[in-house]
Chain A
């Protein structure tokens, strides 16, 4: 009986130790900025992005529901979700799955600011392409804050349209991703 209790306790502690390495949040933020000098409307944010970070392996991932992007203008939001743009009825999410390639340069146990090289696959509009970027990681106590900025070429993801050709929507919108893991 005593042995069983000890065994259960050990299994429990091991599971907890492993579970703590992968941290998740359901409130990461993505800002999508496709504004140009001609049009300031194509800008939106999604504050309910799911993200995960495994501090042991350096694996990073996020899932963003396209319909969760909020624009200030209803017509712009409708265009963004429409079949000529993101076609969100068909392609409901944008996902990223990658890893930190210089993991040894980041000490998750010591407070500080670190630059992490991140490489992975970004899936958008049903098309997956490799993306490489630098993420800023701030470790403060038990909180790990990550921020990265990069741009995507819409044509690479099969997103084309009159508004892009007319210069009203940036051909390479800026994407900013922020996630706090606690």
Chain B
């Protein structure tokens, strides 16, 4: 009787360990095969004009970084410049008085949209904010965005 109980107990522990191992394995697999979501489908934490965003960073860079870094932001503004990067294109919005700028690098699936843009176009771009920093090379503030998409 005692032996049967012991066997049943060992069996239960074995099954629990197996289930835990399997769950852990699946969790690790999911974490490391996960890809970044399409930014176009994500909702923005903030919606702001390029001028206002630049002003916020110029006024208090540290506070603006805390507020915006790694958040999805919707930026509205006029394209001042486009720059080719390999087969892709970066879009720039700029404060022409100070030279400070915002630069948007696009998610692979949205590069074709970015290529349609021209200087002077008014656009709404959504992207993950990498923060603002003072460039010692250009002697101006710049804010960079990654994984961008046209807001549709």
Contact = CB atoms under 8 A, between A and B. Distances in A.
Contacts of B35: 72-74
A146 interface: no
Nearest to A61: B137
B151 interface: no
A27 B90 contact: yes
B146 A68 contact: yes
B32 A26 contact: no
A157 to B, nearest CB: 19
Given A61-B137, A75-B32, A50 B142 contact: yes
Nearest to A75: B31
Contacts of A47: 85-86, 88, 90, 105
B97 interface: no
B6 to A, nearest CB: 39
Interface string B29-53: 0011111100000000000000000
A106 interface: no
Nearest to B104: A48
Interface in B115-143: 130-131, 133, 135-138, 142
A92 interface: yes
Given A48-B90, A50-B137, A92-B131, A26 B103 contact: yes
Nearest to A26: B103
Contact of B138 (A24, A27, A67, A68): A24
B83 A26 contact: yes
Interface of A: 24-27, 29, 41, 47-48, 50-52, 61-63, 65, 67-68, 70, 72-76, 92-93, 95, 178, 180
Interface of B: 31-36, 69-70, 83-86, 88, 90, 92, 101, 103, 105, 130-131, 133, 135-138, 142, 144-147
28 contacts: A24-B137, A24-B138, A25-B83, A26-B83, A26-B90, A26-B103, A27-B83, A27-B84, A41-B32, A47-B90, A48-B130, A48-B144, A51-B137, A52-B138, A65-B130, A67-B69, A67-B70, A67-B131, A68-B130, A68-B144, A70-B146, A70-B147, A72-B35, A72-B36, A73-B34, A75-B31, A75-B32, A75-B34
Given A48-B105, A63-B133, 12 more contacts: A26-B92, A27-B83, A27-B90, A47-B90, A50-B135, A67-B69, A68-B146, A72-B36, A73-B33, A75-B34, A76-B32, A180-B84
